[in-house]
Amino acid sequence: VSLLSLFMNQEDKRNPKNWTKEESDRVVAVFRWLLDQDRKQNPHLYTKKATLEKGRLRRQKELK
């Protein structure tokens, strides 16, 4: 059973263009919840400084 099938009726829903507003809102809500849980577990990854540091380190690696 796929995650999407738990939230949607059984029409051809693999394509998000076929989703109803309610179905797409459910999927968005799940991802918001997952993001909130990740923020609680890893707050250091969501501070502005950490984000900027990651970007700077990534750019330095690309330049080498």
Given a contact cutoff of 8 angstroms between Cβ atoms, the answer to whether 62 and 54 are in contact is no
Chain mean pLDDT for the chain? 79
Between these two residues, 37 and 10, which has the higher pLDDT value?
37
> What's residue 6's pLDDT?
62
Structural domain harbouring 33: 21-64
Q: Is 28 among the domain residues?
A: yes
In a domain, 54, yes or no: yes
How many domains does the structure of the chain reveal? Answer: 1
pTM for this one? 0.53
Integer Cα distance of 28 and 51 in angstroms: 23
pLDDT surpasses 80 at 18: yes
Per-residue b or e along 25-49, where b marks 16 or more CB atoms closer than 10 Å to that residue's CB: eeeeeeeeeeeeeeeeeeeeeeeee
